[in-house]
Amino acid sequence: MSDFTFTIDGVEVPAKRGQTILEAADAAGIYIPRLCWAKDLAPGGHCRVCTVLVNGRPQSACTHPAGPGMVVDHDTAELRAWRKNIVEMLFVEGNHYCMFCEKSGNCELQALGYRMGMTTPKYPYMFPQRTVDATHPDVMVDHNRCIACGRCVRASRDLDGKNVFQFVQRGHHVRVAVNADGGLGRTNLSAADQAAQLCPVGAILIKRVGYAVPVGRRLYDVKPIGSEIEAKRAPAPSGK
């Protein structure tokens, strides 16, 4: 049962008290792109890929609660452009060599690029110097691909109860660090931890399982990211 309704692009959407715009949209079969959000994790509001206009003001759909009568703009040319810009910036500010990345085909950043029709980012590539931490026997961190979404930080803290990952530095320099001097291998992370599983990109990878799924059968080979949510959308009543 819903408590109230609001509209997304003019479509009436039911919502329960306490639901975010993104959760209500998901339930209604409307896919709002997102990167740092993950089911079971408290929303972080880091990436802003889920930006919508709430009564005319930009807000992140993953953190903003739905409210009665709220007017949300989502699939407009302007918002699509903003979101694509963010995805493009994420590609140029890291080192994303999809052609040999183990995550390719199952990567949410890449899948968003596909869905948004990004052929190449419009911004100049930065080719930053980043490091790889392979000190852990079962898990590796490749900072070249980290998009600072904070999923590992939240998962380790809230789901695993371990605090293995933490953000350090600020602004453009922000990066994920591990809570031990000698690298990931010195933490109590295990490969089964949610923190090791929830990375949307190829920055945290479980060792020795790469490329197991053949091309053509990977998560986003056949259908765009978000299709599973859109499949829930009730067909429009006839005569409309």
Partner 1 sequence: MAKPKVATASLAGCFGCHMSILDIDERILKLAELVEFHKSPINDIKKFSERCLVGLIEGGCANDENVHVLQDFRKNCDVLISLGDCATMGGLPAMRNHVPLEECLAEAYLNGPTVHNPTKQIPNDPEIPLLLNKVYPLHEVVKIDLHLPGCPPPADAIWEVLVALLNNKPIDLKYGLLRYD
Residues in the chain: 240
Stretch that binds ligand FES, among 9-17, 46-54, 78-86, 171-179 (CB under 6 A): 46-54
Rounded Cα–Cα distance for residues 165 and 195 (Å): 8
Of 32 and 184, which CB lies nearer to ligand SF4 in the complex structure? 184
Q: Which residues pair with 132 in a beta bridge?
A: 142
Q: Which residues bind ligand SF4 (CB under 6 A)?
A: 96-98, 101, 103-104, 107, 109-110, 145-152, 176, 199, 201-204
Window 20 to 39, contacts with ligand FES (CB under 6 A): 34-37
Q: Are 209 and 47 in contact, with CB atoms under 8 Å apart? A: no
- Residue that the structure tokens 């509209």 belong to: 7
168 HSE (CA, 13 A, CB side):
6
Query: In the stretch 119-158, what mask flags binding to ligand FES with x, by CB under 6 A?
Result: ----------------------------------------
Q: Minimal distance in Å, beta carbon 205 to partner 1?
A: 15
SS3 content of the chain, % helix, strand, coil (to 5): 25, 15, 60
Interface with partner 1, residue 117, by CB under 8 A: yes
Q: Minimal distance in Å, beta carbon 95 to ligand SF4?
A: 8
Of 66 and 101, which CB lies nearer to ligand SF4 in the complex structure? 101
Of 200 and 202, which CB lies nearer to ligand FES in the complex structure? 200
Of 74 and 136, which CB lies nearer to ligand FES in the complex structure? 74
Of 4 and 167, which CB lies nearer to ligand SF4 in the complex structure? 167
Rounded Cα–Cα distance for residues 3 and 66 (Å): 11
Interface with partner 1, residue 169, by CB under 8 A: no
Q: Are 118 and 84 in contact, with CB atoms under 8 Å apart? A: yes
Burial of 88 (0-12, 13-18, 19+ CB in 10 A): middle
Rounded Cα–Cα distance for residues 80 and 118 (Å): 11
Can you read off the two tokens belonging to residue 189?
Answer: 């992370």
Q: Minimal distance in Å, beta carbon 165 to partner 1?
A: 24
Q: Footprint of ligand FES on this chain (CB under 6 A)?
A: 34-37, 45-50, 60, 62
